Structure 1
Amino acid sequence: MKILIIEDDTTTREFIAKALKEHGYAVDVAEDGQSGLMMALSCQYQMVILDRMLPALDGMKVLSALKSTEPNLPILILSALDSVKDKVDGLTAGSDDYLTKPFALAELIARVDIIINRSHRQQAVTSEITYDCLKLDLKSHTAFCHHHQLTLQPKELRLLQYFIEHNEQVVSRMRLFEAIWSYHFDPKTNVIDVHIANLRRKLEDAGCADILHTVRGAGYVLRR
């Protein structure tokens, strides 16, 4: 299991990373909000430990971006901002927990264990997501249309998952690019169009025609 620490203070960052590694977790680190967000969107993490006051990109903006693209990714805010309002703001913005500095290392590790265990239980309950004729098994990473298994490339599978999770919502190309590829959006690339076309063709071949629509000037929508 891999955890990402986004923390600009070197001593705190290294202290937490060392402790989590000794506790059995794999750990990556980022020293600013911008690079941390890019790492979180491009790699598979079981949890993010996030400082609020970060250079390059504020921690609350990182939290908002992650929750809009990876709503099930557990996030623990670790911050010196310790007022009740600060804690409420962090929790209502989508963080799974809020721990103030200074902190006891044993408490931090206990909270990490609890959050990850809770996330695993929730994933076990919701291992399948469905919409209309589509079903996606999150454990086996397989997709079905009318009970026929689809042969999808990894990015196509991730796109389909994102569309099912945001079904009947118009999703912009920029939002897809940030969620599936990286944080930076290149308006000149046609990578999204190519993957959407391939995914749509495979859905149509399997009998799920007219379910993935292009909304001119706005994006795409999974809708019957």
Structure 2
Amino acid sequence: MEASVEVMVVEDDATVLAVVTDYLRGRGYGVTGVADGRAARDLLRTARPDVLVLDRMLPGVSGDDLCRQVRASAPLTSIIMLTALGAVEDRIDGLEHGADDYLAKPFVLRELRLRIDAVVRRSRNARVAPTPFELGPFRVDPASRRIWLGGTEMTLTTREYELFVFLLRNPDRTLTRDDILREVWGWSFGQTSTVTVHVRRLREKIEPEPRYPRYLLTEWGQGYRFTVEDAA
């Protein structure tokens, strides 16, 4: 991965912070290490890292609160939660706060690097500017990474944008969670609950009534299908 990738690591364990920052710097990343949530929040008022590696349990400002704040102010920053809370419920909770990925402690440094590379690659690939297109009430401008619903611009995180564009480019096709995990996240394996959480978040933004979706439908036992025909 190119040296232009900027990573901010927010971790209150001094040993973990030193090991992670030294490892990433040694492989060409630009790295800022921060030991508490309040200091990270202050830095992020002006800094815009490509990736934020964020511990959930932090002094000053919690990782969850920081994640929500970054999502509101810097939606193009990818967030990887790095935490000792590794249960499925904790992973889903972290994703609900807006994280793009989740890595539980103890972890392998190489896996962290690969996950950083994956979120950066997906983000940069999505910024390649093919022709704008429309589907039903949705209009997409890939050059600016913007999507409008009925003339109103939508507010989407990086991962929500990538997921939605993938769905828009595959209308009326049933996609399994593994399909989505592979094509949107770039993972050949992983927790499919990640997809479930992001689908739920996306529905809250595109559906008039998320409990009774018109566009993003669940095909029980199979996966999801995006359609504008059924909605009409």
TM range (shorter): 0.5 to 0.7
Question: Deviation per CA, 1:87-136, whole angstroms, max 9, x where unpaired?
Answer: 0011122101000000011111111111111111122243326799xxxx
- Runs of 4+ off more than 2 Å: 123-132
1:35 maps to which residue? 39
TM-score under structure 2 length normalisation? 0.55
Secondary structure of the residue that 2:86 maps to in structure 1?
coil
Identity of aligned residues (%): 31
Find out whether 1:124 has 2:140 as its counterpart: no
Secondary structure at the aligned position of 1:41 is classed as coil
Instruction: State which of 56, 60, 64 in structure 2 corresponds to 1:56.
Output: 60
Instruction: Give me the whole-angstrom Cα distance separating, in 1, the residues matched to 2:145 and 2:20.
Output: 35
SS at match of 2:44: helix
Count of residues in Structure 1 that have an aligned counterpart in Structure 2: 136
Matched residue SS, 1:54: coil
RMSD: 2.1
Amino acid at match of 2:122: R
The structure that is helix-richer by fraction is 1
Q: 1:86 to 1:128 in 2, by over 3 A?
A: same
1:76 to partner: Cα distance? 0.2
1:111 to 88, 112, 115: 115
Aligned to 1:138: none
C-alpha distance 34-86 of structure 1, shift in aligned 2 (>3 A):
same
Q: Work out the CA distance in 2 between the residues paired with 1:38 and 1:80.
A: 24
Residues 41/122 of structure 1: CA separation in 2 closer, same or farther (3 Å cut): farther
Q: Distance in 1 between matches of 2:8 and 2:154?
A: 24
Q: Deviations over 1:51-82 (max 9, x none)?
A: 00000001000000110111121000000011
Q: Which structure 1 residue ranges, 5 or more long, are not aligned?
A: 133-163, 167-224
Residues 41 and 66 of structure 1 are in contact (CA less than 8 Å); yes or no, is this contact kept in structure 2? no
Match of 1:161 in 2: none
Distance 1:21 1:120 in 2: 21
Q: Distance in 2 between matches of 1:41 and 1:123?
A: 23
Q: Residues 57 and 128 of structure 1: is their aligned pair in 2 closer, same or farther, counting only changes over 3 Å?
A: same
Which blocks of at least 5 consecutive residues in structure 2 are unaligned? 130-141, 156-232
Distance in structure 1 (CA, Å) of the matches to 2:144 and 2:23: 34
Greater RCO, 1 or 2 (C-alpha within 8 Å, sep 6+): 1
